[in-house]
Structure formats: structure tokens, C-alpha cells
């Protein structure tokens, strides 16, 4: 997702986590002892499986994948390629012009999260523009002899 340090087009690569398996898991070698401290180093004996490192790269991969699925907070728009039905705490404000729905605003409190503008030509819906997360998606409805023939989308 742009602007969040996550690219949804980048595939997630699953990490197969392995435990470290050693002969002596709780044995340590003591060295450098002074009145102020001592150095303990693992003295594991035979290592039969190194295990998967727990490091920033592996942890951040998990964090980024979660953020791409659930977002940062209720103001985040998560772009997906499938329909997602859920309950959230946003409100919707509808705007009508001369009795025709022309704008839909999704809000979290007073903050507008997504705006959808509906454009009509001679009483027929011809364009829908959605603005969220600094991105604009415009859907143009194309008619042939008064019947909806196809849709085209543009993303800015």
C-alpha cells in the first residue's frame, strides 16, 4: 500500500519457522569474570538444527504483512482485489443535488476517509470518482443505445 511502507503488489513470502535444537540448551561458558560482571556464552554442545533467526527483518515482514491486511487504524483504506464485508465505526454522509445522489463521504468522526462523486449526463450516471489515501479512481460508464455496455477505470 503506497504511503505506508507496504506494497500490496509485492507477494508475501512465508517464513517457515524452525526451533533451535541443541544438545545442551541451557548450558553456558563463563569467561572474563570481574568484580563488576561476567561474560556468559552459549555452550550448547552439538547443534542439530540452527533455527530461524528472530531478527528485525523477519519481524518487520510480519508487521508489514499485517498492516497491509488490517491497516494502521480506522482511517486507513486497505486496497484489495476482492470484496470485504465487515462492520466498522465509520459514518456515511450522502449529498443530494436536485433529488439526485451526487456525493458519498465516509467519515471517521469529522475526518473524511473516502469521497465518492457521482456524475450524471442527461439524467444517466456516467462517471464515479472515488478519492481515498491520496489516490483517485475514476470509473466511466459507457452506454450503447441507452444500455450500459462497459466500464473503464483509471487510477491516479
The pTM for the full model equals 0.51
Three-state SS at 7: coil
Averaged pLDDT score across all residues of the chain:
85
Residue 143 pLDDT > 60: yes
Residue 76 pLDDT > 80: no
Which of the residue ranges 20-34, 48-62, 70-84 would you say has the lowest mean pLDDT? Answer: 70-84
- What is the rounded average pLDDT of the residues 25-46? 95
* Closest to 24 in 3D by CA, of 46, 40, 41: 46
Residue 50: the pLDDT is 93
Residue 136: the pLDDT is 93
Confidence category of residue 82, pLDDT binned at 50, 70, 90: low
Which of the residue ranges 18-22, 55-59, 69-73, 131-135 would you say has the lowest mean pLDDT? Answer: 69-73
Residue 84 pLDDT > 80: no
* Size (the chain), residues: 156
Residue 37 pLDDT > 80: yes
Buried-state track 121-148, b at ≥16 Cβ within 10 A, e below 16: eeeeeeebbbbbbeeeebeebeeeeeee
- What is the rounded average pLDDT of the residues 110-139? 92
Distance CA 75, CA 133 (A): 9
Residue 5: the pLDDT is 44
Grid coordinates belonging to 87: 462492520
Distance CA 135, CA 146 (A): 31
* Closest to 4 in 3D by CA, of 83, 64, 84, 50: 64
Grid coordinates belonging to 48: 542439530
* Closest to 154 in 3D by CA, of 127, 134, 133: 127
Distance CA 53, CA 55 (A): 6
Amino acid at each position: 500500500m503506497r504511503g505506508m511502507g507496504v506494497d500490496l503488489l509485492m507477494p508475501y513470502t512465508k517464513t517457515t519457522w524452525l526451533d533451535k535444537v541443541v544438545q545442551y540448551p541451557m548450558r553456558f561458558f563463563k569467561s572474563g569474570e570481574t568484580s563488576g560482571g561476567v561474560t556468559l556464552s552459549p555452550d550448547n554442545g552439538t547443534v542439530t538444527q540452527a533455527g530461524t533467526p528472530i531478527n528485525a527483518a523477519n519481524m518487520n515482514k510480519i508487521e508489514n504483512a499485517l498492516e497491509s491486511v488490517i491497516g494502521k487504524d480506522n482511517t486507513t483504506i486497505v486496497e484489495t482485489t476482492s470484496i470485504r464485508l465487515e462492520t466498522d465505526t465509520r459514518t456515511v454522509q450522502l449529498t443530494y443535488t436536485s433529488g439526485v445522489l451526487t456525493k458519498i463521504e465516509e467519515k471517521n468522526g469529522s475526518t473524511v476517509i473516502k469521497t465518492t462523486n457521482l456524475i450524471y449526463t442527461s439524467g444517466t450516471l456516467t462517471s464515479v470518482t472515488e478519492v481515498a489515501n491520496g489516490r483517485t479512481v475514476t470509473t466511466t460508464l459507457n452506454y450503447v443505445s441507452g444500455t450500459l455496455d462497459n466500464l473503464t477505470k483509471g487510477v491516479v
